[in-house]
Amino acid sequence: MRRGIPTRHHVVTVLTAALAAGSTQAATWSDTFIGYRYGTQFAEPNNPQDVTKHVLQFTYVSGYSLGQNFLNLDVLQSDSADPANGSSSGATEAYLVYRHQLQAGKVFDDPVAFGPVKDMALTAGFDLNTKNTAFAPRKRQLVVGPTVKFDVPRGFVDLSLFYSREWNHCGLDACGLPGNRNAITFDPYYQVNLAWGLPFEAGAVPLKFQGFYNYNGEKGDDYFGVATKPEQLMRTSLMVDVGQLAWGGENTLWTGVGYEYWRNKFGNHDKAGVDTDALTFNLEWHF
């Protein structure tokens, strides 16, 4: 594994190109919402305590003539069990995800369809995060790869295989990075991503089942020279369209319950706080 910092020019160039690809065409449809999640059973590596978190979410999804865009920003506020650096108050984290799809059926006017597959796409994007703990992570991740888009009666099911590069940061003196550096470049790894959004009705009650699942392969040694292990993360929720039930406002206010499943968080293993099983209360306001 090579450790170091990617040049800022390289990262900015890649991200700007990805954003430009999706912003040069007018959107043909879009969905924007502000969400909220709350749970009391979250976990953090090397922390044996359950962590309570409030999560404020902003999500924007749109389609255009060649594909679609997805952007999500989570702002996570922990309780004192996950403290900020030099404080007894809880830490604050921001996590941004952007994905852009070029769909074969839109680019070539001829979808790549077979069996249960309605089309194929090329997906590229990035993750960025920062958190004000003593560890001070600053994740920078780029992904690119093919996506299979399944033919479902309503909603979507996408399965992607990504090539991923990740850079991060460790603010602890105990981190064993050479040359007194704080940054790390992980080995390239693959990510399998499954994402879904499936609306349905139970009698007269409008519902949707949504979420994603990531499987990340090993990415070399961590900050302390310990080999990472494969990582799994799933967030899913079952939501009720209460706006439609209460005043006929379809796809405005949703509420429901969610579940977060995380194994070997960040590739860590054989220590406290690397596995999460957290139930959440979820809200979404679409506009």
Task: Give residue-wise pLDDT tens across range 4-42.
Answer: 444 444 544 545 554 554 455 689 999 999 999 999 999
What average pLDDT does the chain have? Answer: 92
**Distance, C-alpha 272 to centroid of its chain:** 23
Domains located in the chain, CATH noted: 8-286 (2.40.230.20)
What confidence score (pLDDT) does residue 180 get? 60
Tokens linked to 170: 């460790």
- Predicted confidence (pLDDT) at residue 166 exceeds the cutoff of 70: yes
- Rounded to an integer, the average pLDDT of 40-50 is 97
Would you tell me how many other CB atoms lie within 10 Å of the CB of residue 125? Answer: 23
pLDDT digit string, tens, across residues 208-253? 999 999 999 999 999 888 999 999 999 999 999 999 999 999 999 9
Give yes or no for a contact between 78 and 52, defined as CB atoms under 8 angstroms apart.
yes
Query: pTM score > 0.85 for this model?
Result: yes
Dihedral of the CA atoms 237, 93, 38, 283 (nearest 10)? Answer: -60
Can you tell me which residue has the tokens 């090579």? 2
Give yes or no for a contact between 19 and 98, defined as CB atoms under 8 angstroms apart.
yes
Of 47, 132, 134, nearest to 94 by C-alpha is 132
